[in-house]
């Protein structure tokens, strides 16, 4: 059976499929080399497995660990524990917090649980993922603490993290979403986000903020502007999809994480929300598990000191 189809649909199937570390090792091997092993140095496809479970190339004698170059790189914990935690993460429909993971798995410290979750969050963005397309609403929102003083609401607030949000419009339904914290709602930052996340030829719907004015001259996108002032409608009525996502992500951060998300780590929490939201129609939790493992072996490891920074 193709590896893309070989994932547990529920926790009982998970327990049957992954009983030992060797089961996890075999699964990672298939994920890393779905078309057969290829040496990272000489591209040879001949190998043997050493007593320490290293993959030994027959031609150049290079040895590689199944976890090297992945989020599991250098781990001293069993792969089976990693697999259980990843399953637990995808099984939490409302998201995973370090406090809950610490209690559930019996970690000795909050820092350990926090670092494991952040390693897993790094795998929630697929390299070279497809861009949003079709009709896409875009707006900015502030996520974080309360504004201080009066007259500092909206784009002028200084104590919140400014985040640009894009949502696909599928009729009345919301398709995929993208987020990016930005330093200011300038044309340069907004256009950079658009070019990185939205397919050329798409229709972009925004409010009348001047930061989007350059889109009117763009040959890559069709720009639709909805002016709130004088329209007789509220912002959430003119841009319903993106405002719904704004509301959901704030509720998620306040509910799952009690709002305790620092600005420097906010991008990774937003990645987690997008990973879950974009797969909300998946019939089985196992499909999310499969995607996360697939991406976990496709990205470079992040040392603890880099996670903290």
20 and 76 Cβ atoms separated by less than 8 Å? no
CATH number for region 135-277: 3.30.420.10
Question: What is the pLDDT at residue 146?
Answer: 47
Higher pLDDT, 194 or 154: 194
Q: How far is CA 298 from the centre of its chain?
A: 14
Mean pLDDT of the chain: 87
Question: What is the pLDDT at residue 157?
Answer: 44
Tell me how far apart the alpha carbons of residues 248 and 273 are, in angstroms, rounded to a whole number: 9
Question: What is the pLDDT at residue 148?
Answer: 40
Q: What is the mean pLDDT of residues 261-281?
A: 90
Which helix (H) or strand (E) element contains residue 286? helix 285-296
Question: What is the pLDDT at residue 156?
Answer: 46
Which helix (H) or strand (E) element contains residue 253? helix 240-256
Question: What is the pLDDT at residue 147?
Answer: 41
CA torsion 292-295-300-301 (nearest 10°) is: 10
Q: What is the mean pLDDT of residues 39-61?
A: 90
165 and 138 Cβ atoms separated by less than 8 Å? yes
Question: What is the pLDDT at residue 256?
Answer: 82
Tell me how far apart the alpha carbons of residues 214 and 194 are, in angstroms, rounded to a whole number: 12
Q: What angle do CA 78, 267, 29 make, to 5 degrees?
A: 30
Tell me how far apart the alpha carbons of residues 115 and 156 are, in angstroms, rounded to a whole number: 33
pLDDT in tens, 171-203: 999 999 999 999 999 999 999 999 999 999 999
Question: What is the pLDDT at residue 249?
Answer: 93
For the chain, which residues make up each domain, given as ranges?
3-35+67-122+284-308, 135-277
Angle between helical axes of 21-32 and 285-296 (0-180°, round to 10): 70
165 and 177 Cβ atoms separated by less than 8 Å? yes
Q: How confident is the model at residue 305 (pLDDT cuts 50, 70, 90)?
A: confident
Question: What is the pLDDT at residue 159?
Answer: 56
Question: What is the pLDDT at residue 163?
Answer: 96
Q: What is the mean pLDDT of residues 96-108?
A: 87
Question: What is the pLDDT at residue 233?
Answer: 64
212 and 229 Cβ atoms separated by less than 8 Å? no
């Amino acid at each position: 059976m193709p590896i893309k189809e070989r994932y547990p649909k529920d926790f009982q199937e998970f327990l049957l499929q992954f009983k030992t570390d060797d089961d996890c090792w075999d699964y990672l091997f298939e994920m890393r080399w779905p078309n057969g092993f290829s040496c990272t140095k000489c591209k040879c496809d001949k190998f043997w497995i050493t007593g320490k479970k290293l993959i030994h190339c027959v031609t150049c004698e290079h040895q590689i660990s199944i976890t090297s170059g992945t989020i599991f790189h250098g781990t001293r914990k069993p792969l089976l524990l990693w697999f259980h935690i990843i399953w637990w993460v995808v099984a939490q429909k409302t998201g995973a917090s370090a406090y809950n993971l610490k209690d559930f798995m019996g970690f000795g410290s909050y820092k350990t649980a926090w670092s494991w979750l952040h390693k897993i969050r790094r795998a929630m963005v697929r390299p070279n993922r497809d861009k949003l397309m079709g009709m896409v609403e875009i707006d900015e929102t502030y996520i974080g603490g309360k504004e201080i003083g009066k007259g500092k609401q909206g784009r002028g607030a200084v104590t919140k993290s400014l985040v640009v949000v894009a949502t696909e419009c599928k009729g009345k339904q919301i398709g995929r979403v993208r987020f990016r914290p930005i330093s200011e709602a300038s044309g340069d930052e907004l256009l950079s986000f658009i070019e990185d996340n939205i397919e050329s030829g798409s229709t972009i719907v925004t409010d009348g903020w001047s930061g989007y004015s350059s889109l009117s001259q763009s040959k890559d996108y069709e720009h639709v502007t909805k002016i709130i002032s004088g329209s007789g409608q509220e912002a959430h009525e003119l841009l319903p999809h993106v405002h719904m996502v704004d509301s959901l992500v704030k509720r998620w951060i306040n509910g799952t994480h009690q709002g305790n998300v620092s600005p420097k780590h906010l991008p990774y929490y937003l990645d987690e929300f997008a990973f879950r939201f974009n797969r909300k129609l998946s019939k089985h939790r196992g499909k999310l598990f499969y995607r996360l493992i697939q991406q976990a072996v496709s990205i470079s490891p992040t040392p603890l000191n880099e996670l903290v920074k």
